[in-house]
Amino acid sequence: MVDFIVTHIYDFAGFALSAATVAIYQLYLRWRNRRDPASSALYGMNAARVAWVEGVMRDGRDILAVQTLRNSTMTSSFMASTAILLIIGVLTLSAQGDKLTGTWHVLNVLGTDSSEMWLLKLLIMLFDLLFAFFAFCLSMRLYHHIGYQINVQKDLRLDCTRPAHVAAELNRAAIFYRVGMRAYYFTVPLLLWLFGPLWMVGATVLLLFFLYHLDRAPRRDSDLMG
């Protein structure tokens, strides 16, 4: 095992650097959200979902609730189905590793082109896609349950029919969807890892630059004018 790590030290170093960078960014994001929640796009969407649930349950807009939840469920279902297709594609690549390693490593500067490392990279990508699949499935499950909770008459004796509880479940479903999308995003560095560790590190930096702007709340008109 030690000899395998030493032989492929650049590949493992590239993966460790990318994973550590993503973890540090997530810790920074949590810290920023706690310090200034209004600066986070997640905070704004959570507040909007809470207000939406309260308005739907207060005004009895059942058709709007069903249509919106159906759209959310269909989106999660589509992403879960796409994850399955990508998993099949990764399994197909793993069966052809001895034929493709030479071609995929043309641009590899520091990494090795061994078939064992190729299979390990595909295995990590497979676990990432499986994680995304289960996250989207859990999101679908919660959207399905919320469809019943949001359309019943509020009963103060049942916590599950309170708007606050329904809104919390909706935000929980959105968290699973967000986690699944983050797993999707990370497949880009993992895919470029097949070309070499430098490609993976570069893709991770570009990904975090994209996520940094995606996770920020839209700037206020006063900020833009100032």
* Maximum mean pLDDT: which of 1-15, 124-138, 209-223: 124-138
Judge whether 223 lies within some domain.
no
| DSSP letter (8 states) at residue 151 | T
pLDDT range class, residue 173, cuts 50, 70, 90: very high
Please report whether residue 170 resides in a domain.
yes
Measure Cα distances from 148 to 166, 169, 175 in Å: 10, 12, 20
Q: Does any domain span residue 160?
A: yes
Q: How far apart are CA 50 and CA 12, in angstroms?
A: 43
In a domain, 225, yes or no: no
- Tell me what pLDDT residue 221 has: 43
Q: What is the pLDDT of residue 121?
A: 87
pLDDT at 128 over 90: yes
pLDDT in tens, 21-75: 999 999 998 888 888 888 888 888 888 888 988 888 887 777 888 888 899 999 9
120 residue type, one letter = L
Distance CA 9, CA 114 (A): 13
pLDDT of residue 224: 43
- Tell me how far the alpha carbon of residue 58 is from its chain's centroid: 32
Q: How many structural domains does the chain have?
A: 1
Using pLDDT thresholds of 50, 70 and 90, give the confidence band for residue 222: very low
Average pLDDT over residues 132-157: 84
In a domain, 75, yes or no: yes
CB 196 within 8 A of CB 101: no
Look up the domain containing 97 and give its range.
7-215
Asked whether residue 224 is domain-assigned, the answer is no
pLDDT score of 79: 94
The pLDDT tens digits of the residues spanning 61-98 come to 778 888 888 999 999 999 999 999 999 988 887 776 55
Tokens at residue 199, please? 């490609």
Residue 149 lies in a domain: yes
Tell which wins on pLDDT, 130 or 94: 130
Encode pLDDT of 202-211 as tens digits.
999 999 999 9
Using CA atoms, how far apart are residues 75 and 204, in angstroms rounded to an integer?
Answer: 26
Residue 1 within a domain: no
Contact predicate 188/87, CB 8 Å: no
